[in-house]
Amino acid sequence: MRLDIISIFPEYFAPLDVSLIGKARERGILDIRVHQLRDWTHDVHKTVDDTPYGGGPGMVMKPEVWGEAIDDVIGDGSPRMIVPTPSGRPFTQELAQELAGESWLLFACGRYEGIDARVMEEYSTRLRVDEVSIGDYVLAGGEVAVLVMIEAVGRLLPGVLGNAQSAVDDSFAPGAMRNLVEGPVYTKPPVWRGHEVPPVLLSGHHGKVARWRRDEAIRRTVRNRPELAAALDPATLDKHDRKL
Ligand code: 6GU
């Protein structure tokens, strides 16, 4: 999968050399190219922003610079374009799954009050463009959000996770545990500072372990994500679940 990132802070993407994503790059599963937006400016000050039409606080990123940058990066190709912004559609595990099926993504990172809207309008005529938000809070720019999206998408690519089952068992993953968060996990020793590992996990009884894990996932969903618990489809709950 090819990923291009355009930003005025390429240094933000140093973590993509590390860990799971770093390994995937070394192994050729991910081809990540980070571009400095200011390389496409023509003035001595390398200006990327200007005051907003209609007034108001802050600055808006200029369309001309973005247009030249995107044209050069994509050539005659057609990546799916992602614009991180708090006003975008929610980034979910479902969207991560969908993006993991693409062969080429282009991330256009805005700073300040955002990118002139005509940039998204222009490329929407040629590319699939999505404005995407990672949650209901405001970051200073899209860079950290893009790191989040790349990590979520990257770990779904074949060969990136050591254990393919890890992604199957994820909170929010499709399947039996869909719309539930994961329950607690334990490792050795069996007793630590007087706290015991739940005995069922030491029982070797796979059916009982699966039942216990589902119960704990439901309990944790109710406690930490009441809005998810309320929206659970009763048809996906068994008789035992309903008593919890
Ligand atoms: Cl994608 N960008 C910014 N700047 N803030 C955000 C966000 C994105 N998602 C949530 N907050």
143-161 per-position pLDDT tens digit = 999 999 999 999 999 989 8
Residues 139 and 175 in one domain: no
Rounded distance, CA 102 to CA 81, Å?
A: 11
Q: Based on the fold, state whether residues 192 and 149 are members of the same structural domain.
A: no
Q: Which range marks the domain in which residue 176 is found?
A: 169-242
| 163 belongs to a structural domain | no
Our separate counts of H helices and E strands in the chain read 9, 9
In a domain? residue 159: no
The count of domains in the chain is 2
Strand, coil or helix: what is 76? Answer: coil
ipTM over 0.90: yes
221 & 147 share domain? no
Is 184 assigned a catalytic role? no
Give the nearest ligand 1 atom to 142 CA: 2
Q: Is 189 a catalytic residue?
A: no
Give the Cα-Cα-Cα angle 9, 12, 17 (nearest 5 degrees).
Answer: 130
**Torsion angle, CA of 56/44/13/66, rounded to 10 degrees?**
60
**End position of a domain, from candidates 131, 154, 177:** 154
Can you give the CATH number for the domain in which 216 is found?
1.10.1270.20
Segment 175-224, tens digit of pLDDT: 777 889 999 999 999 999 999 999 999 999 999 999 999 999 999 999 99
Q: Establish if 114 belongs to a structural domain.
A: yes
Phi-psi region of 192 (alpha: psi -120 to 50; beta: other; left: phi over 0): beta
Instruction: Output the tens digit of pLDDT for each of the chain's 244 residues.
Output: 999 999 999 999 999 999 999 999 999 999 999 999 999 999 999 999 999 999 999 999 999 999 999 999 999 999 999 999 999 999 999 999 999 999 999 999 998 799 999 999 999 999 999 999 999 999 999 999 999 999 999 999 998 987 777 787 788 877 777 889 999 999 999 999 999 999 999 999 999 999 999 999 999 999 999 999 999 988 888 889 888 8
Same domain, 195 and 99: no
The Å distance, Cα 152 to ligand 1 centre, comes to: 15
Reading phi first (left if > 0) and then psi (alpha if -120 to 50, else beta), residue 96 is in: alpha
Q: Is 155 a catalytic residue?
A: yes
Percent of the chain with pLDDT over 90: 86
In a domain, 164, yes or no: no
- Residue of 10, 52, 63, 86 marked catalytic: 86
Ligand 1 atom showing the smallest separation from residue 137 Cα? 11
Domain match, 65 and 139 both: yes
Active-site residue 49, yes or no?
no
Residue ranges lining ligand 1, Cβ < 6 Å: 84-86, 132-135, 137-139, 141-142, 145
